[in-house]
Amino acid sequence: MNIGILTAGGDSPGLNAAIRAIGKSAIRSYDMQVIGFLDGFRGLMQNRIVRLDPDKLSGILTVGGTILGTSRDKPHKMDVGGTEMDMTSLMIENCEQHQLDVLVCLGGGGTQKNALRLHKQGFPVVTLPKTIDNDVWGTDATFGFDTALSIATEAIDRVHSTAHSHHRIMLVEVMGHNAGWLALGAGLAGGADVILIPEFPYDVNVIADAISVRRGAGSSFSIVAVSEGARPMDLHLQMEELREIAASSEGDVKKDAKAALAALDASLEGNTQRLAAQLQELTGLEARVTILGHVQRGGIPSAVDRLLATRLGTAAVDFIAAGERGVMVATRGGHTVTVPLEEVAGKRQTVPHDHRWVQSASTLGVSFGQ
């Protein structure tokens, strides 16, 4: 049996651990042949491969990023010479040329959708969930999240001293455009006083009031953990209205609503800086912003991410050997299971309002700006 592997979407800690687990277990347990496609679906289209033999898989467990490279290209919308083309058929031909029995795709929500497209067009796939945002539907956790959570928590820990020394409001922006797991977890673990996430649209006046109350009680500084996708209530309502229009309309109306929604979404860039200026004006306290950006993706994966990636990778090979196809290998309730891609693709795991982390934060008096 022959297996192909590719990594797609953003890089994430634990990808190499997963590649290693898939490759070594396939070779050792089932005498399979394993190849990797370079740079995601683009490398699959261009038929750029590397043989994943034991030597190639050695020493990569603790290495960040992905030895295969990655890209955000989509099989059905591939930029070829400046023209957007559907290259799915060519990708399937390349898989067949190498006599692959299955293609294993490691990625987040977009990768799950792209893998499902390949599967529906006749080529068998299996996927693994990776993303620092922890927002892939159908699994309790994605590898990459724990490492990013530790980095974001450490950053919040480090701004406490300057916030206290200068009596400042310190805003720490972390990744999470559509789901707030990273800001919520890091904010709670790092002792943030305010946590702003996409699932809880905020009112800047409520945030300012919470900071003023802290100041009145003798606390001269405040820490605010902010998801990059956190948005004020008025913007949130506009976006929800446009989503409803796009979902219920056709033709130009649908197209215009989607364009307007994309424009509003793009307007979130720089929102944390604007929020800092507003809070400084409303509270009279100096406000400063730290944006972590891609630092959260880098470095050595945590032990938790290495273990999760290894467990999912070895289980994936066992499922493949047993004939499973068109599924994502997930962790649920401590067990490794398969979830049909039809159930995963197009969905997102966001923070429930009654999640235990939210409840703990509320009990501690953390403000969500509501």
Residue pair 167/285 in contact (Cβ under 8 Å)? The answer is yes
Residue tagged active-site, from 39, 133, 135, 305: 133
Q: Which two tokens stand for residue 102?
A: 């299955």
**315, 41, 174, 246: CA torsion to nearest 10:** -110
For 55, the token pair is 């030597």
3-state DSSP assignment of residue 266: helix
Distance of CA 192 to the CA centre of its chain: 22
Annotated catalytic, 39? no
Token couple for 237: 């309502």
DSSP string, 131-187: -TT--BTT-S--BTHHHHHHHHHHHHHHHHHHHHHHT-EEEEEE--SS--HHHHHHH
Q: Which of 95, 82, 89, 107 is nearest to 36 (CA)?
A: 95
Residues with catalytic function? 133
